[in-house]
Amino acid sequence: MSFQKRLLSGEFVVLAEMNTPKGVDTSQLIQNARRIKGRVDAVIVPDMDDGVMRMSALAGAVLMHQQGMEALIHVYCRDRNRMALQADLLAAYALGVESLIVVSGEDICNGDHQEAKAVNDLDELGLFGALRCLEQGSDLGGSELTGAPVFSVGCAIPQCADEKSLECQLELAAKKVEAGAKFILSPPVFDIGRFQAFLSKAKGLKTPIISTVYLLKSVGAARYIATNEPEAGISEELIRRIRKASDRERECVRIAAETITALKGLCQGVRIITLGWEHKLPDVLEYAGL
Amino acid sequence: MITAERKSMEELINCVSPYRRLLLVGCNECVTVCSAGGRKEVALLSSALQLHFMKEGKPFEIKEITLERQCDPEYVEELVAHIDSADAVLSMACGCGVQEIARRFKEKPVMPAVNTKFMGASERQGVWAERCAGCGDCVLGLTGGVCPIARCSKQLMNGPCGGSTKGKCEVDPEIDCAWQLIWDRLKALGMTEKYEENMPAKDWRTGRGAGPRKIVREDLA
Ligand code: SF4
Ligand code: SF4
């Protein structure tokens, strides 16, 4: 069943994020994807995440299709103006991409091409507007299309450092839902209690929430997030658990899997982000009983 | 106002060194206010250049003049009396002033002594910050008086990006997140319905999207 259908039927969807290579050697990507084929509903291919130049998400999605796997891609406004965005959206649909995630795209100043000029012709709401326009059979310039795409589009709510910015982000998410967002990706979940509090605030959006689970890769990574984003809810106990484990990597996999298991009854799905450890995805799924 | 910062001494020495007689022209408007190219800065730069070339033993003459407004042809005309006795002009005005001199005196090399930065306001003594990008279609009335074009690093029109943290911008923790400012201000004003409205995709033609702009006022022209 496709991701869209599962989402509509209210089933728990499992998505795994996979980055495209920086270069043309796609063997690793394909190998990692094959190992989870049939075990996830779809792969999410980010597009130059963190401002790091790499093969486009669209190519990644097509590579996934060639493996018989569904793929969702990120779209955002940093690198393309409204013409390039529309052109790529039409291309994506023609090449079999049915679901998208509109994200905000990290600023270039943190990436690996810091001298580049960001585009930001449209913003996320403007991109939703462009999608709606295309779906209705015309482009933003008002010209008629020969064949219109139909997408299932989601958006994301970021980790918010305080109540004030969460309030602002929830209002913004409401605008995105109004503009056509069919599902919402949550900030990373490390603490179920906090996630439940988030869920009760996001309830008003009346839109399926897909949670996000990060695979922590080390004590250092956990400590880093705990220090820099205390709102993420990584506890000392969690860090201790990783530190004390005889096999730390396996413990990290277990923690991610346990989080996924705990999330099953709470929301409409999970997006698993391994931050470069895509080869660990089969283990995460295994431990989570997926 | 238009803000500017003086170029480094090294760069300035490099660009004026081919010339023996220099006309150094300041401006009494914005660059005076932001202490980049007013009468005082003209005097300081003039002494520094003279000292440098004197030490080098190179013959060098410099004439200083500060115009009321260098972007105004009426005042630029005052240079007629001095231009022939100079090999080149070094302007301490913003880019508009430099170009006005270049337009008026086509035969004379004109060089900028400052880097023109942005349209901004003074935040406190010695600190200026960008406020307006001259987009040509002002939305400040909808955004609580905080500009999302000039002050949001991504020029977002509908709300903050995912990188806004504790009121600071993802680009630099020294920069206030414009959208947090907008939200806070709309809330304080009891105007959050403005935020709930979906601002349409910006038409950039009123800004730089349709090439260099001009204002023609028939009633004044
Ligand atoms: S909305 Fe446009 S005109 Fe108004 S302050 Fe911002 S850039 Fe300037
Ligand atoms: S953090 Fe705020 S100011 Fe910076 S780009 Fe995002 S929304 Fe704009």
HEC secondary structure over A198-231: HHHHHHHHCCCEEEEEECCCCHHHHHHHHHHCHH
Q: Is there a contact between A34 and A43 (Cβ–Cβ < 8 Å)? A: no
| CA distance linking residue B146 with residue A219, whole number of Å | 42
Ligand 2, atom 8: nearest CA belongs to which residue? B152
Backbone torsions φ then ψ of A77, nearest 5 degrees: -105, 5
Give CA A265 to chain center in angstroms: 20
pLDDT at A1 over 80: no
Taking contacts as CB-CB distances below 8 angstroms, the residues of chain A near B170 are: 106-107, 110
Domain ranges of chain B: 2-117, 133-209
Is residue A290 over pLDDT 80? Answer: yes
* A145 pLDDT more than 90: yes
| DSSP label at residue A39 | T
- Interface mutation vs chain B, best among A79, A122, A123, A162, most B CBs within 10 Å: A123
Pairwise CA distance, residues B213 & B131, whole Å? 20
Residue B208 pLDDT: 84
Residue B201 alpha carbon to ligand 1 centre in Å? 15
Ligand 1 shell residues, CB under 6 Å: B 132-135, 138-140, 147, 149-150
Read off φ and ψ for residue A288, nearest 5 degrees: -85, 0
* CB hemisphere CA count around A124 (13 angstroms): 29
- At B221 the pLDDT is 86
A→B contacts (Cβ < 8 Å), by residue, are: 77-78, 82, 103-107, 109-110, 118, 120-126, 129-130, 140, 156, 158-159, 161-162, 164-165, 167-169, 171-172, 174-175, 178-179
Q: Phi-psi bin for A147: left (phi > 0), alpha (psi -120 to 50), beta?
A: left
**pLDDT class for A137, splitting at 50, 70, 90?**
very high
Burial class of residue A187 in the structure, from the number of CB atoms within 10 Å of its CB (0-12 exposed, 13-18 middle, 19+ buried): buried
**Is residue A188 pLDDT above 90, yes or no?**
yes
Confidence at residue B210, expressed as pLDDT on a 0 to 100 scale: 84
CA distance B134 to A38: 53
Q: Would the pLDDT of A209 be above 80? A: yes
Atom of ligand 2 nearest to the CA of B164: 1
Residues within 8 A of A (CB atoms), B 175-194 only: 179-180, 183-184, 192
Q: Give me the pLDDT at residue B44, please.
A: 98
- Domains of chain A are 3-285 (3.20.20.220)
Contact residues on chain A for B156, CB-CB shorter than 8 A: 120, 123-124
Q: Which residues of chain A make contact with B171, given a CB cutoff of 8 A?
A: 107, 109
> Using an 8 Å Cβ cutoff, are A272 and A213 in contact?
yes
pLDDT in tens, A15-55: 999 999 999 999 999 999 999 999 999 999 999 999 999 99
pLDDT surpasses 80 at B23? yes
Specify the ligand 1 atom closest to the Cα of B132.
8
- Tell me which chain B residues have a C-beta less than 8 angstroms from the C-beta of A161: 165-166
Residue A248 main-chain phi, psi, to 5 deg: -65, -40
Section B161-167 average pLDDT: 91
How far apart (Å, rounded) are the C-alpha atoms in residues A221 and A65? 32
If one counts every other C-beta atom within 10 angstroms of the C-beta of residue A193, the result is 8
pLDDT at B133 (0 to 100): 97
Sign of CA dihedral A224, A172, B144, B132: positive
pTM of the model: 0.92
Kindly report the nearest CA distance between residue B163 and chain A, in angstroms.
7
Reported as type and span, the H/E element at residue A269 is strand A269-273
Q: Mean pLDDT score of chain A, rounded to an integer?
A: 96
Mean pLDDT over B187-191 rounds to: 95
> Out of A103, A105, A126, whose CB is closest to B201?
A126
Architecture of the B2-117 domain: 3-Layer(aba) Sandwich (3.40)
The pair of structure tokens assigned to A47 is 């597009």
pLDDT at A149 over 90: yes
Question: In this complex, is the C-beta atom of B207 within 8 Å of any C-beta atom belonging to chain A?
Answer: no
Q: Could you tell me if A15 and A40 are in contact, meaning their C-beta atoms sit under 8 angstroms apart?
A: yes
Could you read off the pLDDT of A222-241 as tens digits, one per residue? 999 999 999 999 999 999 99
Mean pLDDT over residues A57-83, rounded? 98
Whether the pLDDT of residue B48 is over 90: the answer is yes
Cα dihedral value B204, B207, B210, B213, nearest 10: 160
Q: At what angle do helices A124-135 and A163-178 cross, to 10 degrees?
A: 10
Q: Check CB contact of B172 with chain A, cutoff 8 Å.
A: yes
Measure the N-to-C terminal CA separation of chain A; round to a whole number of Å.
16
Q: Long-range contacts made by residues B120-129, C-beta under 8 angstroms, separation at least 24? A: B120/B1, B120/B3, B121/B1, B122/B33, B122/B34, B126/B35, B128/B3, B128/B34
| Residue B153 CB less than 6 A away from ligand 2 | yes
* Positive or negative torsion for Cα A257, A261, A266, A272: positive
Check residue B209 and give its pLDDT.
82
Interface test with B, best of A133, A157, A163, A165 (most B CBs within 10 A): A165
Give the atom of ligand 2 at the shortest distance from the alpha carbon of B168. Answer: 1
Which residues fall within 8 angstroms of residue A137, CB to CB, at 6 or more apart? A144, A145, A148
Res. B120: pLDDT tops 80: yes
pLDDT tens, B60-118? 999 999 999 999 999 999 999 999 999 999 999 999 999 999 999 999 999 999 999 99
Residue B4 reports pLDDT greater than 90: yes
Closest by alpha carbon to A253, among A277, A227, A232?
Answer: A277
